[in-house]
Amino acid sequence: MSEYENLQKGIRELDLGKIDSVQFPYRGRRTHITIETDEFTSICPKTGLPDFGKITVHYLPDRKIVELKSFKLYLHRYRNVGIFQENAVNKILDDLVRSCSPKFMTVIGEFKARGGLKTRIVARFEKVKS
Which three-class secondary structure state does DSSP give residue 86? helix
User: Can you give the pTM of this predicted structure?
Assistant: 0.91
- Residue 11: how many other CB atoms lie within 10 Å: 17
Average pLDDT, the chain: 91
Active site amino acids: 44, 51
CATH 3.40.640.10 fits 19-126, yes or no: no
pLDDT tens digit sequence for 13-51 = 788 889 999 999 998 899 999 999 999 999 998 888 899
CB 43 within 8 A of CB 83: yes
- Domain ranges for the chain: 19-126
